[in-house]
Amino acid sequence: MKLPYEFDERMKKMLGEEYSDFMASYDRPRLRGLRVNTMKITPEEFETIAPFPVKKVPWVSDGFIYPNDVFPARHPYYAAGVYYLQEPSAMTPASRLPIEAGDRVLDLCAAPGGKATELAAKLRGTGILVANDASNSRAKALLRNLELFGTENMFVTNEMPERLSGVFSGYFDKILVDAPCSGEGMFRKDPDVAETWSPERVRYFASQQRNILENARKMLKPGGYLMYSTCTFSPEEDEQMISWFINTYPDLSLQEMEGYSGFSEGRPDWADGNPELRKCVRIWPHRMDGEGHFLALMRRDLSSGSDREDSGAALHGREKKRTSRGRVSGRTRERQTLSSDIRPDSEQLELLREFLPQAETGRIERRSDKGYYVQELPDGAGKLNFLRNGLYLGEWKKKRFEPSQPLAMAKRPEEFENVFSMKPDDERIARYLHGETIQTDPKRERVSSGWNLICVDRFPIGWGKYANGIIKNKYAASWRR
């Protein structure tokens, strides 16, 4: 593989005797991976039902490697949100951020959603996940992937970091910054990245990263954890960036992460010599099976922060002790609404009960004729550019309610009375995903009249409406293959 001259020369100096092994890694085929959606299935269960050969990723509990001649996106399990396709090294940052039930979590540079979906799975419907991307088109892909995974406790935004930090000061328990970077670790995966590389781009991204990190710190509550990651080898974007950050903000300290035999320590000699930088993790493609990555986990001191931040953190601590959030069912908690939201009337709520019998009515809001199960947010959140607050439930039409695709993905079969399930090899699944009607066999299949949750095995893929031996297709047009 032809590499940029300046990059090649720098890597020779950085790696010394390891340089030839590093270069040899470019001749090896890239590894392809998927990460299991633990909101729907355990890794152990998936291993027993996997429809193609898989091998565990040894440093990530829910990750698997699959052969290069397999195409998991073509299998119905992908449409059911059972797994997310992700390069094995890229699974690492979210796996090392210590998420707890009820946390407020921010993924600041989240698109297309690989790490955000993992954070959502770790929260398991508790707390809140704010997933942001500055690009509107990429934020739309992010929302789609979160909805495919069945995420309900989300606020998906399309904002610059400084706008977010003005609203969410001292708000988050955990923050992930998978920073935009020069992408040197992805040259093998995507050779086009190598063609656009230059030393100027390294400096450009380093400037962006400093701005992103400063705003991320403003949003981190005292005692909270911040994970910084890149997919590049450049010390300017890795050890030097972290050295600058913790020197500029002494209330931040580097933390140890769960180890793995293939991980390499950070290199203090590539920055200011601070031995704490050894707590960073480097993933080298010639030392383990994965593309290049860098990780640094930091914690903000409990004693740091302004009065506003400290009071917000204390309030959040009381809320977490007082409240345990679950899935879309019975939850009792006060909320703040966005200014344009109104509550549905009693008739609309009654129509919705078919699909959400136990939902807390105070959390259901109506915008025009659409219903949402919303998350409580701080003052000012309504002024942000956002794509979704909470779970989109569906639409009221005259004397009926039509449930949404995201609601189907957030459901479990045991949560809805009428379920029509097909095996993965049933040819009707492909027709359903194309938007076609489904014929049933009354002699062999039991189907209830009206709305049915359509599943592949026990995993929902959408809605259908049954009458006279035919299931009318209600799979969202924008999701169809």
Give me the active site residues, please.
231
CA distance 23 to 19: 6
CB neighbour list of residue 46: distance below 8 Å, 6 or more residues apart: 36, 54, 64, 82, 83
Nearest to 249 by CA among 280, 216, 290: 216
Q: Residue 45 belongs to what H/E stretch?
A: helix 43-49
Query: Could you tell me the two tokens for 442?
Result: 């009354």
Per-residue CA distances from 35 to 54, 94, 107, 141, 474 (Å): 11, 11, 18, 18, 28
Q: Using omega within 30 degrees of 0 as the cis cutoff, is the peptide bond preceding 357 cis? A: no
Contact 292, 233 (CB under 8 A): yes
Residue ranges of the alpha helices (H) in 284-379? 307-322, 346-352
Query: Could you tell me the two tokens for 434?
Result: 């194309």
Query: Could you tell me the two tokens for 283?
Result: 């993933």
How many CB atoms are located within 10 Å of the residue 372 CB? Answer: 21
Query: Could you tell me the two tokens for 394?
Result: 């569906």
CB neighbour list of residue 456: distance below 8 Å, 6 or more residues apart: 76, 77, 79, 80, 421, 422, 423, 424, 426, 429
Q: Residue 210 belongs to what H/E stretch?
A: helix 199-219
CA distance 293 to 57: 15
Per-residue CA distances from 462 to 339, 371, 402 (Å): 31, 17, 12
CA distance 11 to 3: 11
How many CB atoms are located within 10 Å of the residue 443 CB? Answer: 5
CA distance 435 to 430: 9
